[in-house]
Structure 1
Amino acid sequence: MKNTNILYQHGTLALLVPGLLKGTLTMGELLKHGDTGIGTGEGLDGELVILDGVPYQVLGTGEVRIMKNEATIPFGNIHWADFKPAGDIKKLALPKLEEHILKNHSANSFFSVKIKGHFSGVTTRAVIKSNPPYKTLAQTASDQRIFERDTVEGTLLGYFAPALFAGAAVGGFHWHFLAADHNFGGHVLSIDGINGQLTFQDLSSLDLHLPTDDADFMNHDFNKESDILKVISEAE
């Protein structure tokens, strides 16, 4: 039986900071743990949006393709979808949506949010894939492309992690978007207007999987990394 209360996460945001961007888990393996999620490819190769078990990869060129099972990732979140309706959203900008959610839910637990509907003023980004030797997260993420749509139908998918877990995950909200026609998406920078049904799923457990088979990760001294949370915040 699929446990819909578990958020499975491969890797951490903190390990990306010094440039540990090697793919250390296959997409096929990730999909054994859920059908809905977000993440990035090896070398920060674009932005992942996993819906109904299909891993869509928004590349730095703007192209959207389906990631193959043998492709690898350094970081990803996934869970088994069991979203519950939580009311209709009309003409809310993204910050107001976040305020609305946190007025009705504690900020001390993990949860996922999905909205299918009509969106206006959507700005996303995707990072251009880098190759070894990898640079730091901040340096790699600076080579990104910005995409915009005045109006678009699609799905907004997000995860919320308590501030206590910042570094392991993205503290607060982390949003990705995929257009209904699969021709636009990425990591969300801003949305001016959101119209659709808000659906919500509590995730009471975090299953954190670390790349212990990767020598670079196992031998890295994270104690020497300074301002990890600041770097993550700027990169996101």
Structure 2
Amino acid sequence: MATNQIFQHGTLGLLVPGLYDGTITAGDLLKHGDTGIGTLDGLNGEVIILEGHAYQAREDGQIREIAPTETLPFASVHFEAPQQTAEVHQLKMTDFQTQVADEYQLANVFAAVRVDGMFKQVKTRVAPHQTKPYKTLVDATATQPEFEGTNVKGTIIGYFAPHLFQGATVGGFHLHFLSADHQLGGHLLGFEIDQAKLSLQKFADFQVHLPIENGDYLAEKFDNDTIDSAINKAER
């Protein structure tokens, strides 16, 4: 069990033109990590992986556990073994991100970020399920259901990546949330921490597994400027 690397299937960039077909099963993905984030076949909601269980936050607001046979076009996972922990209090999302990036010198580092505790406020969004012919990522996420909770107990899980790797993944923070009662989840748009525990795990290795048996992926002509712009619009 390697705890020194992030395993990523697919890239954020392949979602930009609309390559949403699942190309790895959840069962195979979980062989490479017990914690992480992603999306399901057809850009169907937000995936949160904790303690070896993969959950889908759906566009109707429901949370359910994902079966091992279900497929994903994109996901990042790791085996959890935090190297640093700290108590965090009374922080909003922007201040939290600035503080963590500065204090732990993350600018040029891959890191897994986990926060467990009480949140005064949480706001998420969920990518709506797409059917073929697929829209581009920007068009598919132009309107997304949003969900809010107050005084919520739960977990933030996600990653920080150097901006150099924007396109392969999200440069900077990419965070998902799952409440302890599984009533709220999704991609984080905002939060305010009341009292929580931060766990941080840095990685020297970032392994990207590409769907080279998928014909649409092999035929796609990617444009870096389009990818960068689309990620900034759809994932921030």
Identify the TM-score tier after normalising by the shorter chain. over 0.9
Asked if structure 2 preserves the Cα contact closer than 8 Å seen for 1:17 and 1:228, the reply is yes
Look up the match of 1:71. Answer: 70
Which amino acid in 2 is paired with 1:181? D
Look up the match of 1:217. Answer: 217
Which amino acid in 2 is paired with 1:180? A
1:171-227 CA-to-partner distances (Å, cap 9, x unmatched) read 00001000000111100000133421111101110110000000000011114x642
1:88-138 CA-to-partner distances (Å, cap 9, x unmatched) read 101111111111112222210100111110001210010121111111001
How large is the RMSD of aligned CA atoms in angstroms? Answer: 1.1
User: How many residue pairs align between the two structures?
Assistant: 234
Look up the match of 1:164. Answer: 164
Which amino acid in 1 is paired with 2:189? L
Q: Are residues 1:227 and 2:211 paired?
A: no
The 5 Å alignment of 1:1-150 reads 2-106=1-105, 107-150=107-150
Unaligned runs of 5+ in 1: none
Which amino acid in 1 is paired with 2:164? L
Look up the match of 2:206. Answer: 206
Structure 1 runs (4+) deviating above 6 angstroms are none
Look up the match of 2:187. Answer: 187
Distance 1:76 1:119, change over 3 A: same
Structure 1 residue matching 2:202: 3-state secondary structure: strand
Please report how far the alpha carbon of residue 73 of structure 1 lies from its aligned counterpart in structure 2 after TM superposition.
0.6
Unaligned runs of 5+ in 2: none
- TM-score, scaled relative to structure 1: 0.96
Structure 1 residue matching 2:218: 3-state secondary structure: helix
Q: Within 2, Cα distance between the matches of 1:142 and 1:94? A: 22
- TM-score, scaled relative to structure 2: 0.96
Which amino acid in 2 is paired with 1:150? T
Structure 1 residue matching 2:13: 3-state secondary structure: helix
Asked if structure 1 preserves the Cα contact closer than 8 Å seen for 2:84 and 2:201, the reply is no
Distance 1:101 1:226, change over 3 A: closer
Q: What percentage of residue pairs aligned between the two structures are identical?
A: 42
Which amino acid in 1 is paired with 2:226? D
More off after superposition, 101-110 vs 169-178? 101-110
